[in-house]
């Protein structure tokens, strides 16, 4: 129900629901896993991850980071959703000072994707050196 409340047209309700989920996902692998049972989870979280409201965006990225940190299995599930693109994109963007904490959560999540070898460094925006390139 809380995931669905995150997608409603009331920012205060979104913030409250995402705050509860942030707390629950920090403590419970079961709750993290249950997020994926909600068919609209990826689309709702993709929309919220792009929210103009920094408080909502922070909570959403906090939840996504919690999921990624819980287990390789859940991290892989997260990578397979459309939300993964938004996480990677935000980790690469220049953001205003107020969104630095949000960007850090996205970066932590991408780091976990890389640690589990679920994405390639080039996808994450980390380019290795190429000995064949001219200087």
Q: Which domains does the chain have, with CATH numbers?
A: 2-115 (1.25.10.10)
pTM: 0.90
The four Cα atoms 108, 111, 117, 121 give a dihedral, to 10 degrees, of 140
Residue 36 has pLDDT above 50, yes or no: yes
pLDDT at 121: 87
Taking the C-alpha atoms of residue 135 and residue 133, their distance in angstroms, rounded to an integer, is: 6
pLDDT digits (tens, 9 = 90+) for 54-111: 999 999 999 999 999 999 999 999 999 999 999 999 999 999 999 999 999 999 999 9
């Amino acid at each position: 129900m809380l995931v669905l409340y995150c997608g409603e047209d009331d920012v205060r309700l979104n913030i409250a629901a995402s705050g509860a989920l942030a707390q629950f996902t920090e403590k419970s692998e079961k709750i993290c896993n249950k997020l994926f049972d909600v068919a609209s989870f990826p689309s709702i979280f993709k929309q919220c991850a792009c929210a103009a409201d920094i408080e909502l965006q922070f909570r959403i990225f906090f939840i996504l980071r919690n999921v990624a940190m819980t287990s390789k299995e859940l991290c892989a599930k997260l990578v397979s959703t459309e939300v993964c693109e938004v996480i990677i994109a935000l980790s690469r963007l220049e953001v205003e000072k107020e969104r630095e904490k949000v960007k850090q959560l996205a970066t932590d999540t991408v780091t976990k994707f890389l640690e589990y070898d679920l994405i390639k460094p080039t996808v994450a925006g980390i380019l290795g050196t190429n000995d064949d390139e001219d200087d």
